Structure 1
Amino acid sequence: MRSPHVRTRTRVIGVLLTLALAIPLTVLATLAPSSSAGAATTPAGPKAAGVKLGYFTEWGVYDRNYHAKNLDTSGTAQKLTHINYAFGNVQGGRCTIGDSFAAIEKSYTADQSVDGVADTWDQPLRGNFNQLLKLKKKHPNLKILWSFGGWTWSGGFGQAMQNPEAFAQSCYDLVNDSRWQGLFDGIDLDWEYPNACGLSCDSSGPAVMKDMMQAFRAKFGDQLVTAAITADASDGGKIDKADYAGAAQYADWYNVMTYDFFGAWDAQGPTAPHSPLTSYDGIPIAAFNSDSAIQKLKGLGIPANKLLLGVGFYGRGWTGVTQAEPGGTATGPAPGKYEQGIDDYKELKGKCPATGTVAGTAYAHCGNQWWSYDTPQTIGGKMSYAKQQGLGGAFIWELSGDTADGELMTAVNNGLG
């Protein structure tokens, strides 16, 4: 894609060369194009340093009863550097609001509100957006990005990328809408997966990732532009399907989804940790681990400080399991509070405490159930790894899985320093 600024810069440079012999250098300096003139094509320098990012889900305000205030009362907000609000949708080639009731309409009473002030029926903005604005006021160093897509809502990216500039413009207009001015500091693009299959399949070609990030950097300028990306490091796997290396120059960082490697979608097992840090003897797929993903991405030339390590605040589990160690057979997914085969850490730590560790993460065998999840101790190990590898930091999917006093977020914060 050619930038509209390319030809302008060429003409300016030609004029400068013509006049160079006659005009003093001090004058030439005033004629030179400013850095902002090239903003549309200027790659992003590595900004990630000690990033502690958490995804806050839009739907968490319903069954999970998890609100912006919980980020404050748990002590989590003061330990985060960034929040990704998940998710906006991608429909008809455009970014759209996911659930407008939760985002901008839901009314909060005084006891539910971040600042203890109740919403009124006639105020122009309510919902999560207003509460997060209040959270930013209380924690002024906190940055918030609006994340679009996710597993369920990634199907619209392929159509949207038929016109990258129009797609980026629609997202910019929505993220920076005057109704919630000052809320968002940028955008996170969670396409699962460019030129590969997730819930649906895309066949846009490998260049689509680079094209997308270039278009969004051109439109968003100095605002944050990030992406959640696959951790499938297998030969011919999802990392190989798209130009993540070419796209990285336009991204502030990548959220590498180093979790959900294994789970009870394989109902009969073998049981395996869903977020192993490293490989281990008996792992069902050798390249399905965090370190393999990080090393493959670094090997492509992506700067380490543009990679964030993903940590799940939840576990995945099977039932019908008799073997305590990984690799056992099962009969199906274990029951979870909201969905089969998955449950929050705050639920699991009490009902099925960890009984062992493997590959830098924890597992638990209780009755006929087998679960894997991260604990404060294993998160400490993962944060040490992130620092040793020179990564930009870590991110969490997702914040509502933590305890009321934020013990996992405390481990992330302490581990990264």
Structure 2
Amino acid sequence: MYTRNVRKSKGAMVYALCFAIVFSLFGASLASAAEPSDYLIPQNLNATDVKADSVVLNWDPVPGNDSNLGYQVYMKVGESGGWGWKAWSGFSPKLIVGLDEEKTYSFYVTQVPEAGKQSKPSNIVTITTPKADPTELPPAPLTPPQYLRVSSVVGSDVQLSWTPSPNAVGYEIYRGESWFRWIEGGATTSTTINLQDLGLQDGDSVNFRIRAQDSKRLVSAMSNRVTFTVGQLAAPQGLKIVSANQTSVSLGWGPVQGATSYEIYQDGAPIGTSASNRFAATGLTDGQAYNFAVVAKNESWTSEASAPIRAVPGSDYNLVTYYTSWARSETARNYVPADLAAANYTHINYAFLDFCWAGKDTSGDQCQNADLPLQKDYVFDGGIVLGDPSFDLANFSEFEAVKAANPQLNMIATVGGWSWSKNFSLMAATEETRRNFANTAVKVVRMYDFDGLDIDWEYPVSGGADGNVHSPDDPQNFTLLMKTVREALDAAGSEDGKYYLLTIASSQSDSFTVNADFANSTQYLDFVNIMTYDFSGSWEKLAHHNSPVYYDDEHPYKRPRSTVRGGALGHLNSGLPAYKLVLGVPFYGKGWAGCPPQGQYQTCEGMGEGTWESGLYDFYDIENNYVDKNGYTRYWNEKSKVAYVYNPETKLWIGYNDKTTMMYTTSLVKTLNLAGVMSWDSSSDMNNTLSTQLAKDLPYGGNLNAGELLPPTNVSIAGAAMTWEPSVGAAGYEIFRDDVYVGYTTDASYALTGLTPEQTYKFHLLAIRKDGEAITEVSAASQSVTYQAPAEPSDATAPVTELLANGAAVAAWYKAGNISISLTASDNAEGSGVAKTFYRINGGSEAEYSAPFQLSGAASYTVMYYSRDNAGNVEQEKSVTIKVDSIAPATKFSVAPVWATKSGVKYIKGYAWTLKATDNAAGSGVKEIKYRVNGGAWTTYTSPFVPTSASGSVNVEFYSVDNAGNQETVKK
């Protein structure tokens, strides 16, 4: 979560700030290396108000300088240190904070005349900070006693109790406006008053307050006032649904002054009691309407029942979003409260308020402000202050109309955030500062009409922004802080007849539940908004998803825990009740530049430009400018249920959670039985696409989601096939094995394949509703079914290998040349399968067969071969001889009777021809003899023949072929 409290536009201002960051990394040598000499230089730099930790720098403004570009301040520590960027300022003077006492610092200033440019440096000014003066800050006043309340009423004796004040030596009790009693002892926590001694009778009203006194007889401010009527208790006021899921409803109400316990009624029947003004009704039925009421009690008196409230589990979800103070900036987002789709939300967390430390807020500005009623005097350590008064006051005023038009809305003041969590550890470390934080929280809540407080401490013990203070005592102090704030809000609620909410934002890491002491702290919290996003970011160059709902086993990091589901389960496993967990969703994506195709899981060059900040893209910006537009193609990660876009020309990749992702997110909320969703932040969804989908899937106000797609039922597995009862309206079903997506089917059954024998698996499925190819609804998950894959059947039979030569069974003889040998092995039908096949040639080395190989040459070959199956059965080695014949046979002829010769010509008419062929001794043998007469058809020779010719002239040709295919040259 980010505190983006600097006003900036997407143009020059953003560039100037980015420019400043670049200079902070590369040093001052860049400031003057390549800048034109004609830019005006700031003049007369001087230092005033030098303190142990700060100094004010002043200079003559450069005529015509744009305050959106402003000035860069550079600093050097000591004489030998190097220059580095320190700060940016739109104007002179500039307060520089974060200095160390008794140390020498030098400064110079440059002008930013245009984006990406700087002037030459101003003159240099050098200061030495003094030693810190512990008496410089005014001493904190004595803390008033906390949460004065009636703890017992027995007869006429009324016991008042409170949480004691640090450094107190005793307490003054006031009746009405008059001093009533002195109580000795700073650790005292109660006093008993006899009403009869005061002459009070039934029907008489009385009120008390208390204040602490220290050893110097200085007194604290007054505690809250306790008012009650003797013999009576007022009916509880402000009964509200704090959170709810499908089986529970958590209730809260304003504490009744004089009450020591409460009885809770469900549909007119008592279901439980509570010592506090909170109660969770559990074991309820999803979709059934219930009426709840509360009766206040003490040992002697009983109130009338409160006004009833109707609740419907599964239809009273919390839809929380953050509205940021800077969203209204006219030069940037220009998003005001009236632009909010308020009907899509139940809670608005207003971000951010800050708190004071050593007289200054986290940004280093003085907390005391004459224009702000709660800050007109010195603000002591821990005192809550406005984060950006110029925006805050306008926003507070405009939210009045938004709340009036949307009575379901709870406005929550949020303190801290990423940028303003530096001093939480210091503030939480002492009771005095915890009290001041809590007491000023009550003042802020009342003055600006908030419904509670949200604490965003990022983070206790470790993590967060650079420079944050941490302590190993943070866990216990976190719990003490929550307890203190809870008491302060309840004390205010007892006076106002209202229930004030207390929530936190939590990290998605499992370590947060330990560092925030969930085992003890969450009893004081109404719900926890888990920030299940930022699983990726600028600290790495791998383009992967900001908020994957489920695990993708193809992710290179192989971290099943790093998902929305994993974060939620981590919180639930810590013991946090499911009705107190609100699941965080991002209304922004993250983008990387310089990515190889298709971007996802690729190593890129760095972060993309972003909508307002580097690497961060508001969803409305993605929706308007990137999804299947401007050369970008949308893709879908089926396993993680998140979307991404990529452009092969720009090489920009953006991963984001879209409308479909919201459906899977709300499905997960229902599957884990959580209390709702929280989004960061509302201005990033200006088209209201995401918030509208969330409000549709997670209704509030007891409005049932008619026609909701229900999960499949009666899921079972038999014979390696999973079957189920179909869901009405479902187009298909998604199958998950061990919570990883493995397939989709439109049937009501699914074959389980690819399982390891004897391993146990867990299967569940989601029903999917579609409009064409577009998903329109995702059900909650079905019940999970476990299944143990059967053991491998016993296999005692070796595989069988077949050898083919030139694609056929081995022949007796082959002609010399390339002979292609292939081996094919098969196992028995129920066997374990062929593992490997081996061969060797002419008794040579054994080789593993992978593809057909060639035999060449004129020699004969002996090929030995066999196979082995996965059970270890080995085939008996086989042998085949490939006989090769490279010499053609020779054919001779004879005639009978003998040749006759006349005038040099041989005459053969009427003479019989005999042909005889012989092969080489080791050859394959003569296969056939061919002959033809006078160029006629070739004829197979079988017996002597007498050639004839019409002309009387005879020309005989002949040759032989052996069994290997060698052919003799034709003879004449």
TM-score, normalized by the shorter chain, greater than 0.5 = yes
Which of 64, 76, 80 matches 2:345? 80
Q: Which position in structure 2 is the counterpart of 1:188?
A: 454
- Distance in 1, matches of 2:425 and 2:563, equals 28
- The answer to whether the 8 A contact 2:599-2:652 is kept is no
- The answer to whether the 8 A contact 1:57-1:85 is kept is yes
1:25-62 Cα offsets, whole Å, 9 max, x none, are: xxxx96999865569x8374459940011100000111
1:385-404 Cα offsets, whole Å, 9 max, x none, are: 10121111001100011133
Q: Which position in structure 2 is the counterpart of 1:343?
A: 617
- Distance in 1, matches of 2:400 and 2:446, equals 13
1:277-335 Cα offsets, whole Å, 9 max, x none, are: 12222253442221112111111211101010111111111111113263210110011
Superposition pairs of residues 240-319 of structure 1, within 5 angstroms:
240-266=514-540, 268-269=541-542, 271-281=543-553, 282=555, 284=557, 285-319=559-593
With normalisation by structure 2, the TM-score equals 0.36
- The answer to whether the 8 A contact 2:424-2:469 is kept is no
- Distance in 1, matches of 2:642 and 2:469, equals 31
- Distance in 1, matches of 2:151 and 2:439, equals 23
- Distance in 2, matches of 1:46 and 1:171, equals 26
- Distance in 1, matches of 2:591 and 2:398, equals 34
Aligned to 1:321, the other structure's residue is in SS state coil
- Distance in 2, matches of 1:45 and 1:150, equals 29
Aligned to 2:474, the other structure's residue is in SS state coil
Which of 634, 657, 677 matches 1:394? 677
Which of 568, 587, 597 matches 1:323? 597
- Distance in 2, matches of 1:219 and 1:6, equals 10
- The answer to whether the 8 A contact 2:549-2:664 is kept is no
Q: Which runs of 4+ in 1 moved over 3 A?
A: 3-13, 29-39, 41-49
- The answer to whether the 8 A contact 2:354-2:420 is kept is yes
- From the CA coordinates, give the structure whose radius of gyration is larger: 2
Cα deviation, residue 5, structure 1: 7.2
Identity of aligned residues (%): 28
With normalisation by structure 1, the TM-score equals 0.81
- Distance in 1, matches of 2:326 and 2:486, equals 28
- Distance in 2, matches of 1:46 and 1:61, equals 38
Cα deviation, residue 7, structure 1: 11
- Distance in 1, matches of 2:233 and 2:593, equals 67
Q: Which position in structure 2 is the counterpart of 1:206?
A: 475
- The answer to whether the 8 A contact 1:364-1:370 is kept is yes
Q: Which position in structure 1 is the counterpart of 2:664?
A: 381
- The answer to whether the 8 A contact 1:209-1:244 is kept is no
- CA pair 334-42 structure 1, distance change in 2 beyond 3 A: same
- CA pair 317-217 structure 1, distance change in 2 beyond 3 A: same
Aligned to 1:317, the other structure's residue is in SS state strand
- Distance in 1, matches of 2:415 and 2:324, equals 11
| Cα RMSD (Å) | 2.8
- CA pair 140-249 structure 1, distance change in 2 beyond 3 A: same
Q: Is the aligned partner of 1:131 residue 2:398?
A: yes
Higher relative contact order (CA 8 A, sep 6+): 1
Q: Is the aligned partner of 1:219 residue 2:484?
A: no
- CA pair 30-278 structure 1, distance change in 2 beyond 3 A: farther
1:168-227 Cα offsets, whole Å, 9 max, x none, are: 1111112212xx3xx311111111012222012421432122212111111111201110
Q: Which position in structure 2 is the counterpart of 1:366?
A: 647
Of stretches 345-354 and 386-395 in structure 1, the one that deviates more from structure 2 is 345-354
- Distance in 2, matches of 1:4 and 1:184, equals 21
1:220-273 Cα offsets, whole Å, 9 max, x none, are: 11201110111013xxx333322023211111100000011111321x22x211
Which of 424, 442, 449 matches 1:172? 442
- Distance in 1, matches of 2:484 and 2:385, equals 18
Cα deviation, residue 82, structure 1: 1.1
- The answer to whether the 8 A contact 1:187-1:226 is kept is yes
- Distance in 1, matches of 2:574 and 2:512, equals 14
Aligned to 1:228, the other structure's residue is in SS state strand
The amino acid across from 1:309 in the alignment is L
Q: Which position in structure 2 is the counterpart of 1:160?
A: 427
Cα deviation, residue 132, structure 1: 0.2
Greater fraction of residues in helix? 1
The amino acid across from 2:551 in the alignment is S
- The answer to whether the 8 A contact 1:185-1:224 is kept is yes
Aligned to 1:371, the other structure's residue is in SS state strand
The amino acid across from 2:478 in the alignment is M
Cα deviation, residue 360, structure 1: 2.3
Of stretches 92-101 and 42-51 in structure 1, the one that deviates more from structure 2 is 42-51
- CA pair 335-46 structure 1, distance change in 2 beyond 3 A: farther
1:73-111 Cα offsets, whole Å, 9 max, x none, are: xxx21121111110001222121100000011xxxxxxx
Number of residue equivalences: 366
Aligned to 1:206, the other structure's residue is in SS state helix
- 5+ residue gaps, structure 1: 17-28, 105-126
Aligned to 1:386, the other structure's residue is in SS state helix
- Distance in 1, matches of 2:410 and 2:560, equals 36
Q: Which position in structure 2 is the counterpart of 1:103?
A: 392
- CA pair 370-158 structure 1, distance change in 2 beyond 3 A: same
- The answer to whether the 8 A contact 1:54-1:83 is kept is yes
- Distance in 2, matches of 1:132 and 1:143, equals 11
Cα deviation, residue 6, structure 1: 10
The amino acid across from 1:70 in the alignment is D
The amino acid across from 1:202 in the alignment is H
Aligned to 2:475, the other structure's residue is in SS state coil
- 5+ residue gaps, structure 2: 1-144, 159-229, 235-254, 262-274, 282-312, 358-381, 491-498, 628-633, 700-972
The amino acid across from 1:89 in the alignment is D
The amino acid across from 1:350 in the alignment is N
Aligned to 1:128, the other structure's residue is in SS state helix
